[in-house]
């Protein structure tokens, strides 16, 4: 994304629309004209500024992006499906909504670590330490996830070097673990929370048992984690799994 300097009249109407404050205001350029410009290193290519249609002169220009910059758009613009997974956004559909194909069987816990948020974002490399720790513990990451696709070394969790410094709005580390490994996994997540320079939220997926209990929640309580009352809860009826 860039702002056509010939069209910008410096009205500043766009400044508050950027979720990572990448639109800056110069005051005066060499020709004494006031104008806005985009800090390319901070911009996550989410296209919010473009879609907001607040610019009175249509000065925002959405350009074709090359690798690795195109990753910014794939992870930040929900209108741009990720080319590898064909998933709009950053996680798999079932993790984010409902388990319709029984991918999270009883005895397992589904976890999503949603790194970054509007206002802060993240560099993709900030997910590497927690990915490395999970892989060391034998966890397999969700293959149909845009972040997993960027891992070049399955032992260290290292991302493609030219992708690692790309800034995005958010990225999800997504996996399924046996329920008996939940305690270890929560310890790793606590370590990640201490080490990260951005923020992340913890998504948990679990089945309700036939007796109405929720085994995953027992593990959450054992670990002393507090479920936010304002958290998002998706309840899905799913498909029949019994024949």
Of 43-51, 96-104, 180-188, 235-243, the window that binds ligand SF4 (rule: CB under 6 A) is 43-51
Full DSSP string of 63-114: ----TTTHHHHHHH-TTS--TTT--SSSS-HHHHS---S--S-TTEEEEEEE
- Is residue 182 part of the contact set for ligand SF4 (CB under 6 A)? no
| Least distance between ligand SF4 and beta carbon 121 (Å) | 8
Of 44-52, 103-111, 173-181, 235-243, the window that binds ligand SF4 (rule: CB under 6 A) is 44-52
Give the residue with the Cβ less far from ligand SF4, 47 or 176: 47
Give the residue with the Cβ less far from ligand SF4, 79 or 183: 79
Q: Tokens representing 180? A: 């008996």
Q: Tokens representing 84? A: 């590898």
**Which residues, listed in sequence order, are joined to residue 167 by a DSSP beta bridge?**
123
Footprint of ligand SF4 on residues 7-36 (CB under 6 A)?
8-14, 17-18, 20, 22-23, 36
| Least distance between ligand SF4 and beta carbon 38 (Å) | 5
- Is residue 43 part of the contact set for ligand SF4 (CB under 6 A)? yes
Task: Give, in order, the Cα–Cα distances in Å from 116 to each of 1, 75, 125, 147, 189.
Answer: 20, 11, 12, 13, 15
| Least distance between ligand SF4 and beta carbon 74 (Å) | 13
Q: Tokens representing 238? A: 């799913």
Instruction: Draw the binding track, 45-74, toward ligand SF4 (x: CB under 6 A; -: no contact).
Output: xxxxx----xxxx-x---------------
Instruction: Classify burial at 164, counting beta carbons within 10 Å of its beta carbon; exposed 0-12, middle 13-18, buried 19 or more.
Output: middle
| Least distance between ligand SF4 and beta carbon 64 (Å) | 14
The Cα–Cα gap between 68 and 124 comes to 11
- Is residue 1 part of the contact set for ligand SF4 (CB under 6 A)? yes
| Least distance between ligand SF4 and beta carbon 88 (Å) | 16
How large is the greatest C-alpha to C-alpha distance in the chain, in angstroms? 74
Contacts of 144 (CB under 8 A, 6+ apart): 85, 87, 92
| Least distance between ligand SF4 and beta carbon 168 (Å) | 10
The Cα–Cα gap between 133 and 188 comes to 7
Give residues in contact with ligand SF4 (CB under 6 A): 1, 3, 8-14, 17-18, 20, 22-23, 36, 38, 43-49, 54-57, 59
């Amino acid at each position: 994304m860039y702002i056509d300097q010939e069209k910008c009249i410096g009205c500043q109407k766009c400044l508050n629309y950027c979720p990572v404050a990448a639109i800056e205001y110069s005051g005066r350029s060499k020709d004494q004209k006031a104008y806005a410009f985009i800090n390319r290193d901070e911009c996550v290519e989410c296209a919010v500024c473009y879609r907001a249609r607040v610019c009175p002169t249509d000065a925002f220009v959405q350009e074709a992006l090359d690798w690795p910059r195109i990753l910014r758009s794939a992870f930040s613009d929900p209108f741009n499906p990720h080319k590898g997974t064909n998933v709009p956004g950053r996680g798999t559909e079932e993790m984010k909504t409902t388990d319709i194909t029984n991918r999270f069987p009883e005895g397992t816990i589904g976890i999503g670590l949603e790194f970054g948020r509007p206002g802060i974002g993240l560099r993709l490399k900030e997910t590497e330490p927690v990915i490395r720790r999970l892989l060391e513990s034998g966890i397999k990451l969700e293959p149909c996830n845009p972040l997993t696709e960027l891992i070049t070394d399955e032992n260290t969790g290292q991302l493609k070097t030219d992708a690692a410094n790309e800034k995005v709005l958010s990225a999800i580390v997504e996996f399924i673990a046996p329920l008996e490994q939940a305690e270890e996994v929560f310890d790793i997540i606590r370590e990640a929370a201490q080490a990260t320079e951005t923020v992340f939220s913890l998504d948990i997926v679990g089945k309700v048992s036939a007796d109405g209990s929720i085994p995953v929640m027992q593990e959450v309580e054992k670990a002393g984690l507090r479920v936010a009352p304002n958290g998002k809860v998706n309840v899905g009826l799913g498909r029949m799994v019994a024949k």
